[in-house]
Structure 1
Amino acid sequence: MIKNYLKIAFRNLWRHRVFSFINILGLTVGMTACFLIFLYVKFELSYDKFNSKAANIYRLNTDIKTPSETINTSVTAWPFAPNIKREFPEVETFTRVNNGSFLVRKGDAKFQEDNTLFADSTFFDVFDIKMLKGDPKKALKDMFSIVFTEDAAKKYFGNEDPIGKQVLLTGDGIPSTVTGIIQNIPENSILKGDMLVSMSTLTQHLNKGLDQQWGNFGATSFLLLKPGVDPRAMEKKFPDFIERNNGKERKESQMFYTFTLEPLKDIYLLSTRDGNKLGNMNNVDIFSIIAVFILLIACINFINLTTARSSERAKEVGIRKVVGAAKSQVARQFIGESVILCIIAFLLTVLLSVLLLPLFNKLAGKVVSHGIFTNWQYLLLLFSAAIGIGVLAGAYPALILSSFKPVVVLKGRFATGTKGILLRKGLVIAQFSISVVLIIATLVVYSQMSYMRKRDLGFSKDQMLVVSTQGDPARFALKNAVNSLPNVKSTALSSSVPGSGNPGAYSEIENKKGDLQIANLDLYFVDWNYIPQYKIKMVAGRSFSKDFGTDTTQAMVVNESVTKLLGYSSPQEAVGRKFKQWGREGKIIGVMQDFHFRSLQQPIKPLTMRIEPDGCDLLSVNITGGNVPATLASIEKKWKEMIPNRPFSYFFMDEFFDRQYRGEERFGNLFLNFAILAIFISCLGLLGLASYSTMQRTKEIGVRKVLGASVTNITALLSSDFIKLVLIAIVIASPLAYIGMHKWLEGFAYRTSVSWWVFLLAALTAIFIALFTVSFQAIKAAVANPVKSLRSE
């Protein structure tokens, strides 16, 4: 019986191979897209879940309330975590990490290791980073201990065993011992580092006494709680702990803070602390919805084409029933054919996924999977989904076909019912509603990306080369030497450039009432040339000038946001007001126009600038557009003459700043590609239905041609029904797309609007796609010889 079912199934699939091909192709493309999105979503949701104790690991966050604002930060003061471990029995252990950058030398090899992490000796008690060589209990215990990742170790030691060997750290050449080699930190971790340096190196040597500085916030602290501990109950105990250890200093500084515990597993996708997002849960949700949409469209195609062809197999069903076939047997036959199609689509999906995975990883900007066979459970899930799709998608057609009455069918009076026609039309509307939503969403995404790239940032980033000197003493001489090179317009030193991040500084600034208002303000250390070189506009007062000797010690320039924070109605009112900041006192000499020194996803924050040459380590070089390679070579030559012990490291300001939007650009590219796939699958279904509709109306077309209908008349006749369905889809999809994209845009502090032209363009695009798809078959039928179609009459 089964052999007979299979023989009939394959014979029927081959006989109607065009429709079978469309069905298999649609399912394959849909399942492949869905599977790749599934890999992406699983990867995004897997961040830090490889840690066996992840459920009990929490980041200790701080909310700092000042008279001006509340700062939600992910760091704590350095002494807090060790003292919490000492006073709270709920805490099994803790570890602190801090980002760093080190010049590392071994012989002739020298690298600036920007991805460095300072870490406590308990780091490996908290996180499951596999130690390949060395003792995880002792590796980060002593000062000047280093743990390299596999790849980093090979840079310095090749295949040599590095344990116990020494490298030189910093420009001073501090001998440091390699005490461990770990596997490369997994990409799905919020911790990024090629080299770990013992925390005692920082707290007992590089910044001695840091562990006693209760007001110095800079440590990212993780607590490993004992099983069963309620983190919310523990948070309620923190205020007393803070008051005991730091109550007096809090009152004096008027900076009141509270602690919260954030689950490690939530940080990547859900945390918005420090104004930054590591991942984006909205994007994960959007791609999950797209995956469902694509699979739904593929299933709709299958149901549509199968039910449309049901009348062709009516006599087959009638004969089967006459010779004794039960309704359940007929249903199983057609569900079996559906499952066979899905199994073929599954095999092709596996092949296509293998071929497309490297390209998909590139589009995603990360290795979401090293191979689809690394997790056989995923393939089993895909196979189960294929079988499920086959059964569910084939169930309705099977029930329709198996319910035919043999007497009616064999007399030739069977015709497709009104319910079947309405179902197909409804499914086509659903398909194109999804497609129109995706078209509108794609246009809005790219409109926002364009808006962000073209928006006036308030500073000049073109032809700006930034060289990182890492604070080398020769940077001042280098600046003067580079300034004299041809094709160099100007140079400036600073502690930060837009997009690079900058420290917050405890500040007291005179407000409109005449009081010194406490605030935590972003701070740039700059030299005299910085503001004019970056073409930052002054809206009140003046910029720094060598003509005023006090500018080096008693002057500050602020942006417009600072004046608004202090309550001034105009920037001019802030000029001449007093300030105290990090041991300096003086007056505000000028107000800058607000400029975007952070991503457009964040609102412009208050910013201060002071002349502080010793705090500047970034050299900005404004170069001409001609012969950039030669200019770079000249600058590198000067570097090697003056700072020979450091590798030459530079970046172009425009590329560096735009890097902040790389995640959004990748999201846009992925979105576009999957939207195209969804539209392609919809077109396949429309093509199949148009082909079937045209075949059903062959004789009608022949009669119309004999009576004088033109090719245009017939094409319009066959296309009009489908265009009406697309127009209904546009009406349904437009408000849904508007609501969804309006919510997505709320994630940007500076954003474009959802314009009317987006809906018009999406509607025209959908109509054009539908017309192009349907007219191909319509024209083919219209130009056919009517004699052939009427010969059987």
Structure 2
Amino acid sequence: MLKSYVVIAFRNIRRNLSYAFLNIFGLTLGVAACLVIFLIVRNELGYDSYNSKADRTYRVTLHALDFNSNVSLAIIPAMRIDFPELEQATQFFYQGDAMIKIGESRYNEHNVAFGDNQIDKVFDYQWLAGDPNTALKKPNSVVLTESIAKKYFGSSNAVGKLINFENRLDVKVTGIIKDLPANTSVPFSFLISLSSIENNLKGMMGNFWAIPGGSYAYIVLPKNYSIQQLNSKMPAFIKKNWGADVAKAAVLPFQPLKDIHFDQRYINNIITPTSKDTYYALIGVALLIIITACINFINLATAQAIKRAKEVGMRKVLGASRPQLIKQFLGETTVLVLFSVLLGVGLCALFLSKAAAWMSINVDASQLTQATVIGWIATITVAVILLAGLYPSFVQSAFQPVDSFKNKNAGASGKLTLRKGLVIGQFAISQIMIIGTLIVARQMDFFKNQDLGFDKEAVVSVGLPDMKKRDVLNQQLAGYPGIKEISFSSGAPAFNSNFTSFSSVELGFPKDDVTEYKAIDEKFTDMFGLQMLAGQKIWKKNEKDTVHKVVINETMMQKLGIQNPQLAINKHITINGDQKATIVGVVKDFQSESKHKKRRSCVLEYNPDRFFMASIKMQPANMSETISYIGKKWSALYPDNVFQFQFVDEHIANFYKQEQKVYVAFQLFSYIAIFIGCLGLYGLIAFAASQRTKEVGIRKVLGAPVSSIVALFTKEFIYLIAIAFAVAAPLGYYVMHSWLQNFAYHINIGPGIFMVAIVSSFIIAAVTISYQAIKAAMINPIKSLRDE
């Protein structure tokens, strides 16, 4: 019996190759897209899950005036003493970029960090060489990842080799570990023992008030010990180390390790957090794609059911029962689905690496052999068989022999109503995807280009290893024709690495608040196009001038209770704890960090001791030649360092890497969903054309032009698109409005987006329908009517 079902299934597929192709191709694309999305979402939602103690591991953070993931280096040593019940506690200091020198060769690496000897007991590393218990115990030790060890030392044993760090330290390789998973919130390629830089951090190691950027602390709770127990002891810990006043205003929240990648309150992470809603939205996209593919199958199968009505009637006359017919039709569906799933897995394996690179996600085809992925593939297969196969099987098996031979089933209005409902659902899905893609695209454009408050075009920033050579660099670059302007500062407008406190008793603001601090020169304001609202720009200060003159931004002005910028001039504030300063100007707010958070207070001051960066505005033409010239002059001044530069607009784009992934994913999978919908629509039109061949022939004999025949096929789909839009518009608005609430600054969803969505739907439907409609209209009436 089973063999008979399989043979019949293949015969029917061969007999209706075009419909089988549309079904298989649509399901193949749907399965491949769902698998890619599953692997992406699994990777992103699985951040830090590779650690066996992840459920008991927490990051120690600070919440005083803001959420800060960086904490004092004095906290972990103190917690080890005051909370001996902790299973482990470790410190991690992330530097990021650093110059590495091996022999005479110099390299710039991006994931350089420092860790103490307990870090291996908190995080799971796979050791390939070295002793995990002692590898980071001594100063001037370094642990490398496998890929870095191979990069610099090839197949030879790297343990014992020397590496120079930043022209300051010669560190010895004491261990090699497997490359860390891509979904870790504590990444590194070089891990140097923290004791190596204790001399550089002497003023911070025991200072509870010093919070260096990049300093992170992690603890592991013992089993059966709740985080609430530890939280109850923290007020006393804060009071002991910071004083009673701080204990009233500040807390040290314990952030679960698995939440770090998704908690958007903390912006100063190594990797920018992304809301889980983003990945749930991708799961929703996967469901929409597979539903679209199943709708195609159901539509085409029920359409084909009319052709097979006589076959069903004959089988029933010969004694076939309804359960047997259901098994037969489900068997045919299973053959199609299994074939589609196999092709879908192959397609996924073929293009996964390209999709992963496109979306900056580390997933590969080898993951398709993992048990969880195989289980997911099996789940998709069963779900599609049931979704796509059950209804057509019941419809086809329900035909009555007498009605089948009289062709009465062809006009059953219920089936046509269902088919129209499914088409409406398909169009609604397509329109939701179009609306979502348009909104994400506009939000990404808003992120990068709108309302920044400064000019970012054609500006590169380079670091200054030795600030004493700043004037020499300025002289060598100033005369080059490709360079417009040069400014020195602690960072361009979009770089915000310095923060301090501010208050003003004079203005009734006695409590400290947090402000960004930028040291800038006299050219900074004009070069970046900052808009002065009142007062003077920053000017070059005389060395004998001991009075601190600052420019503040709008946000600080408003916090100080001043509404008119002119009234802020010559008022006084206190910064850096006890440093008195006079306000000489007010500048319009500019974007110094991502739009995930509202703009914060900012103080600008002329302070050459903190000019760590040169910002160079170039002529638009021949920028590559200009950068090459800058590199030569910079390298001549700093021969022991590696020249590195970054465009300011690229730096801004890095704020939104996670959102960029979503945008790319929405683009890719929206196109797939829309294309699958077009396949189904094409198949339905082809079927409708074959069913109405004689009607078209009669209309042509009676003088109907081609345009009216095309209109005959298209008009019924026009109102289906309109109904689908009525469903899609509120759903799309609700979903995307909720997504936009993740950002402090976002676009407004206007009617234009919905107009584009419905017009796009009409165009897509028209293009899909036109070929088959025109083809049907052009058939010679003689051929249409000769079988009558």
TM-score calculated relative to the size of structure 1: 0.94
Alpha-carbon spacing, 1:165–1:789, altered in 2? closer, same or farther (3 Å): closer
Q: Greater shift after overlay, 657-666 or 710-719?
A: 657-666
Superposed, 1:486-635 pairs within 5 Å as: 486-510=481-505, 512-513=507-508, 516-546=510-540, 554-582=548-576, 584-635=579-630
Q: Which runs of 5+ in 1 are unaligned?
A: 65-69
Residue 713 of structure 1 aligns with which residue? 708
Please show how residues 137-152 of structure 1 align to structure 2 within 5 Å: 137-152=133-148
Alignment of 1:75-474 (within 5 A): 75-100=70-95, 101-171=97-167, 173-202=168-197, 204-218=198-212, 219-248=215-244, 250=246, 256-274=249-267, 277-471=272-466, 473-474=468-469
- Which letter does structure 1 place at the counterpart of 2:265? T
Give, in angstroms, the shift of residue 662 of structure 1.
3.6
CA distance in 2, matches of 1:107, 1:113: 16
**What is the CA–CA distance in structure 2 between the aligned matches of 1:182 and 1:500, rounded to whole Å?**
33
> 45-54 vs 734-743, which deviates more?
734-743
Equivalence for 1:58: 58
Q: Which amino acid aligns with 2:156?
A: E
Q: In the superposition, relative to structure 1, how do residues 788 and 545 fare at CA in structure 2: closer, same or farther (>3 Å)?
A: closer
Structure 2 residue runs of 5 or longer lacking an equivalent are: none
Contact 1:559 1:593 in 2 (8 A): yes
Aligned-partner residue type, residue 523 of structure 1: Y
Checking the alignment, whether the CA contact within 8 Å between 1:343 and 1:387 is kept in structure 2 is no
Q: Could you list the per-position Cα deviations for residues 399-450 of structure 1 after superposition, in whole angstroms to 9, with x for gaps in the alignment?
A: 1222222233235544342221111111111111111111112222222233
2:19 aligns with: 19
C-alpha displacement at 1:700, in angstroms?
1.9
Q: CA separation in 1, counterparts of 2:398 and 2:316?
A: 10
* Map of 1:67 onto structure 2: none
SS at match of 2:243: helix
Q: Counterpart amino acid of 1:395? A: L
Q: Hey, what does 2:763 align to over in structure 1?
A: 768
DSSP 3-state at the match of 1:569: coil
Q: Distance in 2 between matches of 1:550 and 1:595?
A: 31
2:143 and 2:175 in contact (8 A); partners too: yes
Matching residue's letter, 2:632: K
Relative distance call for 1:643 and 1:300 in structure 2 (3 A) is same
Q: Within 1, Cα distance between the matches of 2:394 and 2:744? A: 53
The one-letter amino acid of 2:444's match is: M
Paired residues of 2:356 and 2:363 also in contact (CA < 8 A): yes
1:271 CA drift (Å): 4.1
Partner of 2:730: 735
662-671 or 353-362, which moves further after superposition?
662-671
Q: Compared with structure 1, are the counterparts of its residues 331 and 562 closer, same or farther at alpha carbon in structure 2 (3 Å cutoff)?
A: same
> Cα 1:430–1:576, aligned 2, differ >3 Å: closer, same or farther?
same
**Residue among 650, 656, 675 paired with 1:655:** 650
Partner Cα distance (2:201, 2:140) in 1: 13
Structure 1 Cα separation of the partners of residues 54 and 344 of structure 2:
34
Aligned to 1:217, the other structure's residue is in SS state coil
Cα distance change of structure 1 residues 240 and 646 upon mapping to structure 2, 3 Å threshold: same
1:511–1:566 CA contact under 8 A, matched in 2 = no
CA deviation after TM superposition for structure 1 residue 207, in Å: 1.5
SS in 2 for 1:425: helix
CA contact (8 A) 1:19 1:305 kept: yes
* CA RMSD in angstroms, aligned pairs only: 2.2
Deviations 1:217-265 (A, max 9, x none): 24311111111221123212211221233225737xxx83112221111
**1:275 deviation in Å?**
6.7
Cα deviation per residue 1:490-535 (whole Å; 9 max; x = unaligned)?
322222223333122133334533x544122111122333223222
Give the CA deviation at 1:145.
1.9
Shift in Å, 1:48 = 0.7
- SS for the counterpart of 2:703 is coil
Of 33-42 and 569-578, the range deviating more from structure 2: 569-578
Residues 315-364 of structure 1, C-alpha deviations (whole Å, 9 max, x = no match):
21122122221211111000000000001101111221122112211221
Segment of structure 1 superposing worse, 242-251 or 255-264: 242-251
Q: Report whether the alignment pairs 1:33 with 2:33.
A: yes
- Counterpart CA distance in 2 for 1:410 and 1:136 is 80
| Range moving further from structure 2, 16-25 or 135-144 | 135-144
Which one is further off, 524-533 or 116-125?
A: 524-533
8 Å contact kept, 2:521–2:540 = no
Corresponding letter in the other structure for 1:139: A
Specify the SS of the correspondent of 2:493.
coil
- Give, in angstroms, the shift of residue 132 of structure 1: 1.9
Distance 1:483 1:342 in 2: 68
Amino acid at match of 1:170: E
Using the alignment, how far apart are the partners of 1:274 and 1:448 within structure 2? 19
For 1:637, the equivalent position in structure 2 comes to: 632
Q: Note if contact 1:553-1:584 (Cα within 8 Å) is conserved in structure 2.
A: no
More off after superposition, 11-20 vs 479-488 = 479-488
Secondary structure of 1:415's counterpart equals helix
Whole-Å Cα distance in 1 between the matches of residues 613 and 350 of structure 2?
44
In the alignment, the residues of structure 2 paired with residue 627 and residue 769 of structure 1 have an alpha-carbon distance, to the nearest angstrom, of 42
Taking structure 1 as reference, are residues 447 and 137 closer, same or farther at Cα in structure 2, changes over 3 Å only? same
2:217 aligned counterpart, secondary structure: strand
Moved more, 605-614 or 146-155: 146-155
Pair 372,757 (structure 1): closer, same or farther in 2 beyond 3 Å: same
* Aligned partner of residue 333 in structure 1, secondary structure: helix
The residue type equivalent to 1:54 in the other structure is: A
Which moved further from structure 2: 183-192 or 496-505? 496-505
- State the Cα distance separating 1:469 from its structure 2 match: 2.0
Query: What are the Cα deviations for residues 629-666 of structure 1, in whole angstroms up to 9, with x where unaligned?
Result: 33333322222322111111112222222332343333
Q: Is the 8 A contact 2:93 2:216 kept in 1?
A: yes
CA 1:604–1:241: 2 relative to 1, 3 Å: same
Distance 1:546 1:74, change over 3 A: closer
Bigger drift between 74-83 and 551-560 goes to 551-560
TM-score, L = length of structure 2 = 0.95
SS at match of 1:647: coil
Deviations 1:72-103 (A, max 9, x none): 11222222222223222441011111222543
Which is worse superposed, 303-312 or 284-293?
303-312
Q: Kindly provide the amino acid, as one letter, of the partner of residue 407 in structure 1.
A: V
State how many pairs are aligned: 782
Paired with 1:584 and 1:166, the residues of 2 have a C-alpha distance of 44
Identical positions, percent: 35
Following superposition, the deviation at residue 146 of structure 1 comes to 1.6
- The whole-number CA distance in structure 1 between the counterparts of 2:405 and 2:627 is 85
Q: Which residue of 1 aligns with 2:5?
A: 5
Q: 1:205 to 1:275 in 2, by over 3 A?
A: closer
Q: 1:412 to 1:158 in 2, by over 3 A?
A: closer
